[in-house]
Amino acid sequence: MPVSLSSSIEMIDTLQFGLPCIGAAYHIYGKRHALIDTGTSHAATRIRERLGSHAPDFIFLTHVHPDHAGASAMLAEAYPEAVIGVHERGVRHLVDPVRINESVRASTGPLADLYGEMFPIPVERIVVLKGGERFDLGKGMRIEVIDTPGHAPHHLCFFERSHRALFCGDALGIWRREMHVPATVPPSFDSEQSLATIKRLAEYQPEYLYLSHFGEVRDAATYIDRYDLLLREWMGRISELHRSFSDEEVIRKVLSAPKFQGLEEPLFLELKMCVRGVLDYLDREAC
């Protein structure tokens, strides 16, 4: 069942990696309906079932990683009236996903099948977003678009002011299995931009956060402060190890922390990607 979080917001568990409570899409409804993120291509049928008779008017994508935008082409086809809102830097990947599919296969390794393929969307279905746009959903609800680079250069967050609800994609990390983990995946994680984004999001003073991974957070201010600290610690630890050890050794040392033991395999492999994303960033910065 979808989880109703308020009278106008519900969460759809996309069953990412075939597991519960890993990936979420959100359905917001005033007079018009908006879907935020779609899950992987494997989630298309599930999203359609959960939306039932509520055809979305807008499908907003926080970014074009396949666990967020993977089902967007299938849903665009299923809902011919819906416009697909995406960051200007993500448009080319939606129209022609060949490069992103290759990059996902290269960076996710054994997880590639679970992430699925992305399929092309006709360009005329796309609304290009830069941040600053507003979309009226009726009943006093409005979606404001925020440019939030860092996790990826094509990352956006969406703010619904009447609920003080921030749909933050991966900009504030990953919360799963009672653990807060920095979302620092390859190929284009940028630490400085991420920290600037965290600061910008705090200035919106949201009351509720809706994380793609995973669920609702009610004490938004504390969570945002904690993510700022967590990301700085994560960067500090990996940078320090990076000075003395090979990439493989850094990954092994970081992942040997007791709190990371006993995770399901896909989650452990994803964590490994998050270390690799920081190593890639440090190498880029050193050039």
Instruction: Report the interface residues with Zn ion, using CB under 5 A.
Output: 65, 170
Sequence-ordered alpha helix ranges (H) in 129-246: 191-203, 220-244
**2 vs 153 by CB, closer to Zn ion:** 153
User: Which CB sits closer to Zn ion, 8 or 194?
Assistant: 194
What is the per-residue DSSP string for 85-117?
EEETTTHHHHH-THHHHHHHHHHHGGGHHHH--
- Burial-class residue 97 by CB neighbours within 10 Å (0-12, 13-18, 19+): buried
Residue placing its CB nearer to Zn ion in the complex, 8 or 40: 40
Considering the complex, state which of residue 170 and residue 190 has its C-beta at the smaller distance from Zn ion.
170
**Strand 165-169 relative to strand 174-176: parallel, antiparallel, unpaired?**
unpaired
Q: Buried b vs exposed e over 203-218: b needs ≥16 C-beta within 10 Å?
A: eeebebbbbbbbbbbe
Least CB distance to Zn ion at residue 249 (A): 26
Least CB distance from residue 28 to Zn ion, whole Å? Answer: 20
Q: How far is the CB of 138 from Zn ion (least distance, A)?
A: 30
Q: Which stretch of DSSP H or E encloses residue 77?
A: helix 72-78
Burial of 167 from C-beta contacts in 10 A (0-12 / 13-18 / 19+): buried
Residue 193 to residue 277: CA distance in whole angstroms: 14
Give the nearest distance from C-beta 8 to Zn ion in angstroms.
26
- CA nearest neighbour of 113 among 41, 58, 182: 41
Shortest-Cβ-distance residue relative to Zn ion: 65
**Which residue, 65 or 125, is less far from Zn ion as judged by CB?**
65
Least separation in angstroms between CB 250 and Zn ion: 21
C-beta of 156 vs 224, nearer to Zn ion: 156
- Quote the least distance from Cβ 170 to Zn ion, whole Å: 4
